[in-house]
Chain A
Amino acid sequence: MTSKIFKSILSVAVAVLVASLIIITGVLYQYFSNVQEARLKDELNLVASATEQLGGSYLEGLKSSRYRLTWVDSDGTVIYDSHADVAVMENHADREEIQEALVSGTGSSIRQSSTLMQQTIYEAVRLKDGSVLRISVGHATALFLVRGMLQPIGIVLIIAIILSAWLAHRMAKRVVEPLNGLNLEEPLENDVYDELSPLLHRIHAQHLQIKRQMRMLQHKQDEFNQITDNMKEALVLLDNAGRIISINPAARTLFNTGVDCIGEDFLNSERKKDMRMALKEAEECGHANFRMKKNGKEYQFDLSRIDSEGITHGMVILAFDITEQVNAERNRREFTANVSHELKTPLQSIIGSAELMENGIVRPEDVPQFVKRIHKDASGLVTLIDDIIRLSELDEGMEMLYEDVSLRSLAEEVRETLTDAAEHKNVSLEINGDTGTIKGVRRLLYEVIYNLCDNAIKYNNPGGRVKVLIEQKPESVTLCVEDTGIGISPEHHDKVFERFYRVDKSHSKQSGGTGLGLSIVKHAVQYHYGKITMESERNKGTKISVVFDV
């Protein structure tokens, strides 16, 4: 900017300087030339009149160093010259001014010297006798004058350069100062040059655009964060060098790191072999998945390479908690194995007995005993299958009819059914408490009470007691089945509700039962959103309470 202004100022100054120099020199030179010519003519006239009166002697007596006087005869012969020897001078008849004077009475001419710096002005006049008197004087040319002025002009030029530089600097500063002070955040609020307003408007428009884009970006980022922050799955984004770009809270918990791991190597957070192999595989094949135990839970990791137009940009790692799924799978497998085993055992016994009878090995008097065993095993099988069907119904979460059910009357029904069994074991069964009416599925609630009472009788000591107590409260109904039986030791408390779990495996055949009773109870209670608690002590008895909300 400064140099541009400097150049402009300087070129103007030089142009002005040169122009004025030319004009002034021209005008002055013209003026002085005219003055000189007039003076020369006056002198010549004076000398001519003197010469006409006094003759050559006047000229001889005239001493002048400035002017050169030459007296030429009408045929061109030089009669007198003030500066040179007449004898060596050539004929002057061919000189322009002499010829002119001979013809018209006066003549003049200007001749350049060889150096161009000097010129000579000639004036001639014809005397009365026909001879011609000529006067001449040396005279500097315009060029000479210019040469003389070169030095002062140079000085002026230098001053002009310095001045221009200083001015340019100051001007640039003055122009730029308000520009530097522009408030670009609020471009339209500035009050500077009018010439700047288009620029300021453009900046303003760009500001708006940038703000809009920033808002959009922020919005997208927020959206992304909202999604990733609240998802249960762990999500990690890596760049193509394996550094973490983004990691959501679930992933931070999973890999046990803080926010500061962003930008660090992912291996800093997880360096297990499975992960390293999967990263390598995903890098090569684009995708990898594996399962790994972490923090006591089972996780499924999915890794995908992010490609765009053939260039790899990084990697997404997604981890799902599949603990429940794995547990459910394991339970199902175990259940299937258990069911097959439980179904197979009585069938084997039935087949065995039948085979023995078929082959006639059994003595006739023993046949009823074998038939009885077959009958017992077959009915056991039916019970088991019934239980499995009931459980699977509960598992399916089938819609069942809800009605008002009195727990008390259900308990009475159960007592009737179990009277034989209780008498057989010499166990007393008493029912106390309120009617305990709740909304529920009659058949399922019957199963709950039946199984609890059945267990209380089955695992009781001879002469023992079973007490069923039903308490109605404003918000809930509690069903409590208490026995004086063999009890359950604490380590089994959590497990007795599992399918096919037996506290005493060796006596399971003796007591009958399918191992599914308490499991059915648990599911049926859950179906009614009830709560089940158990208190039990070895050899003292067991108390199981079920609380239903009204």
Chain B
Amino acid sequence: MRNRFDEQLFELNREIIEMGAMCEEAIALASKALMTGDLELAYRVKANGSGIDQMERDIEGRCMKLLLHQQPVAGDLRLISAALKMITDMERIGDQAEDIAEIVTFLDGRTMEDVNLIEEMARETIQMVTSSVDAFVKKDVNLAYKVIARDDVVDDYFSKIKSSILNIIAENSSDGEFVLDLLMISKYFERIGDHATNIAEWVIYSVTGTHKEV
């Protein structure tokens, strides 16, 4: 009985890692598309997105089955409930990566090379997502806390980008649409950072059993 349960938990763990990896890939692809203006990459992000959605449904089903059939307690229960919450955040990351890719397709090949801040922000956000998945894989609470601390860096980038966009508008108001797209993209990155933070918080919960103090 326990053996079967352990096997199912093992599968759950594996699926979450896979989904996390897919999110990492989605956001990495989206920012690469953004930097290079490569539409091919942008379309691949979309294809990736449906995979992530499917994965979310699969994991959700598995969690429900585990909860109903095995009635887990203690650490197992925390892992499963944290998994249920985490996949929602992961799915949102996937969606936002798709949104970024979609904006890239509207940019008509204009790239972000001249906007260093967004590139740095994207790199920081990707690192956050990777670290949050790593924290889950290694059940590393310290790493999770580091991810949470990094969210401030990403938030800082957002406000910096916002003010630099204001400058661009003040200097040259004719480029309004492009500038708004930039704002949207940086907002998406900022949201992705928040979701990575959520994942890190769920990792902390599933390991320690307590929520991080807000």
Contact = CB atoms under 8 A, between A and B. Distances in A.
Interface size class of B (residues with CB under 8 A): 10 to 19
Given A268-B137, A268-B138, A271-B133, A241 B21 contact: no
B201 to A, nearest CB: 21
Contacts of B65: none
A272 B14 CA distance: 13
A22 interface: no
A272 B137 contact: no
B13 A265 contact: yes
Interface string A254-269: 0000000000010110
Contacts of B138: 268
A271 B17 contact: yes
A242 to B, nearest CB: 7
B156 interface: no
Contacts of B14: 242, 265, 267
A276 interface: yes
Nearest to A265: B14
B113 interface: no
A273 interface: yes
A226 B137 CA distance: 30
Given A265-B17, A276-B18, A276-B21, A271 B137 contact: yes
B18 A267 contact: yes
Interface in A251-295: 265, 267-268, 271-273, 276
Contacts of A265: 10, 13-14, 17
B99 interface: no
B79 to A, nearest CB: 14
A276 B55 CA distance: 15
Interface string B1-40: 0000001001001100110111001000000000000000
Given A242-B14, A267-B18, A273 B25 contact: yes
Contacts of A267: 14, 17-18, 21, 137
Nearest to B136: A268
A257 to B, nearest CB: 9
Main secondary structure, interface of A, reads mixed
A161 to B, nearest CB: 46
Main secondary structure, interface of B, reads helix
Nearest to B17: A267
Interface string B122-143: 0000000000010001100000
Nearest to B13: A265
Nearest to A269: B137
Contacts of A241: 7, 10
A464 B7 CA distance: 80
Q: Which of B20, B133, B138 has its CB near the most chain A CB atoms (within 10 A)? A: B138
A276 B138 CA distance: 18
Contacts of B18: 267, 271, 276
Contacts of B20: 271
Nearest to B130: A271
A314 to B, nearest CB: 15
A271 B20 CA distance: 9
Contacts of A242: 14
A273 B10 contact: no
Contacts of A273: 21-22, 25
Nearest to A271: B21
A272 to B, nearest CB: 7
B33 to A, nearest CB: 16
A268 B18 CA distance: 10
B28 to A, nearest CB: 10
Contacts of B133: 271
A304 to B, nearest CB: 21
B10 A272 contact: no
A78 B2 CA distance: 99
Q: Which of A272, A273, A276 has its CB near the most chain B CB atoms (within 10 A)? A: A273
A433 B47 CA distance: 72
A307 B137 CA distance: 29
A172 to B, nearest CB: 38
Nearest to B16: A267
A265 B13 CA distance: 9
Nearest to A261: B138
A276 to B, nearest CB: 7
A272 B13 contact: no
B17 A268 contact: yes
A43 B20 CA distance: 121
A411 to B, nearest CB: 52
A239 to B, nearest CB: 11
Interface in B96-151: 133, 137-138
Contacts of B22: 273
A267 B24 CA distance: 14
A272 B20 CA distance: 10
A46 B14 CA distance: 117
A267 B10 CA distance: 11
A520 to B, nearest CB: 39
A164 B10 CA distance: 58
B87 to A, nearest CB: 16
B32 to A, nearest CB: 14
A234 B25 CA distance: 25
Nearest to B139: A268
A265 B21 CA distance: 14
Interface in A75-110: none
Q: Which of A242, A271, A276 has its CB near the most chain B CB atoms (within 10 A)? A: A271
Nearest to B48: A273
Contacts of B137: 267-268, 271
A468 to B, nearest CB: 49
B17 A272 contact: no
Nearest to B22: A273
A268 B16 CA distance: 11
Nearest to B21: A271
A276 B17 CA distance: 11
Nearest to B28: A273
A242 B17 CA distance: 13
Contacts of B10: 241, 265
10 contacts: A242-B14, A265-B10, A265-B13, A267-B21, A267-B137, A268-B17, A271-B20, A271-B21, A271-B133, A273-B22
Interface of A: 241-242, 265, 267-268, 271-273, 276
Interface of B: 7, 10, 13-14, 17-18, 20-22, 25, 133, 137-138
Given A241-B10, A265-B13, A267-B21, 15 more contacts: A242-B14, A265-B14, A267-B14, A267-B18, A267-B137, A268-B17, A268-B137, A268-B138, A271-B17, A271-B18, A271-B133, A271-B137, A273-B21, A273-B22, A276-B18
User: Top 8 A-B pairs ranked by shortest CB distance?
Assistant: A271-B21, A267-B17, A268-B137, A271-B17, A273-B25, A265-B14, A267-B14, A265-B13
